[in-house]
Amino acid sequence: MNKDDEAFDAAMRQNLRSLPVPEGEEISMPRRDFLRFGVAAGIATIGVTGWTGWQYQQTPTIVQQAFAHVHEESGLRGALVSDAGLRAMLGMASAKPFPGAVQLCKSCVIGGHAAWHLNTYLDNLGVVQVLAFKASLPDAAGDGHWFGHSWRLLSLANRHGASSTPEHNSACAGRFPHPNPLPEGEGTNESLRDFHCNGSKVLLLGGNVAALNKVSASIFSIT
C-alpha cells in the first residue's frame, strides 16, 4: 500500500468515524420473553380463577352437585323407554310426547336429596338430564350456565292443588299405578309418583338452552 492509499484510507476512516451519533437516544432492552409469558400467564390465571369463582358464586349448590352427579353417571345407560310407556308411567297419556329418546331412568340421591334421574337424547341438541326432586328445595327457580353447559331449575306447581301429605301421596299412588315393567328399580316408581304429586323442583341440565327449552315445555305441558 503506497502513501497515497494510506492517506486516502486515513481520510476516509476519519470522516466516517466522525459521523455524528445522536446523543441521548435510548436503546431499550427488549422485554424478556419469559417475563411477557409470565405476565400473560398471570393475567390468564387471574381471569380463569375469577371466572371460575364467579361461576361457583352464581350457581346454586344443588346445581353444582347435580352436575357432579351427572358426571359420575355419564357412562351409565339404561334401557330405552318407549314414549308410550313413559307417558303411561307419568299418567300423561293425552299429553304431547316427551321429547327425545329416554335413555336412563333411575332413582338417585343428589346432595342428600332424593331425585328421579332421567336423561333423554334429542336429535341435534344432545342429551338433557332431568332431575326431579322428591322434596322441595330451598333454591329458588332460575337458570344459568356452568362451564359450557346450561341449567334450569323449574318450580312445578302442585298439579293436584294439595300439599304433600301421606294421604295425598297415597291418593296419587292410586291414581298413578306402578308402571309394569319397572324401568329401573323400585325407587323409580316412587319418584315417578312424587314427580306428579308434589309441588317440587325439576332441574334440567343440557348442552344448550334450546334443548332445555324443548324439555321444559314438555314438562310444563304435563304438569
Partner 1 sequence: MFNRDKKIFDDWVRTYRSFLYRAAWALTRERGAAQDIVQETFTLAWRARKQLREEVTVQAWLYRILRREAFRSLRQQEPWVEWDDEVCGEVAGTPDMIDLRIDLLDALQSVTPLHREMLVLYYLADMSYEELALAVEVPVGTVMSRLNRARSALRNVMMEGELQ
Instruction: Point out which residues bind partner 1 (CB under 8 A).
Output: 5, 8-9, 11-13, 15-22, 25, 27-30, 32-33
Residue with cell 293425552: 94
Nearer to partner 1, 35 or 157 (CB): 35
Q: How far is the CB of 30 from partner 1 (least distance, A)?
A: 5
Between 5 and 123, whose beta carbon lies closer to partner 1?
5
Q: Are 131 and 206 in contact (CB under 8 A)?
A: no
Smallest distance from partner 1 to CB 37, Å: 13
In the complex with partner 1, the residue whose CB is nearer, 1 or 93, is: 1
Nearer to partner 1, 32 or 71 (CB): 32
Radius of gyration of the CA atoms of the chain, in A: 34
The residue with cell 332441574 is 203
Contacts of residue 193, Cβ cutoff 8 Å, sequence gap at least 6: 169, 172, 173, 176
Indicate the residue among 8 and 54 with the shorter CB distance to partner 1: 8
Cα–Cα distance for residue pair 96/84, rounded to 1 Å: 10
User: From the CB of 207, what's the least distance to partner 1, in Å?
Assistant: 44
User: Rounded distance, CA 194 to CA 114, Å?
Assistant: 10
CB of 1 to partner 1, least distance (A): 10
For the bound state, the minimum distance from the C-beta of residue 46 to partner 1, rounded and expressed in Å, comes to 23
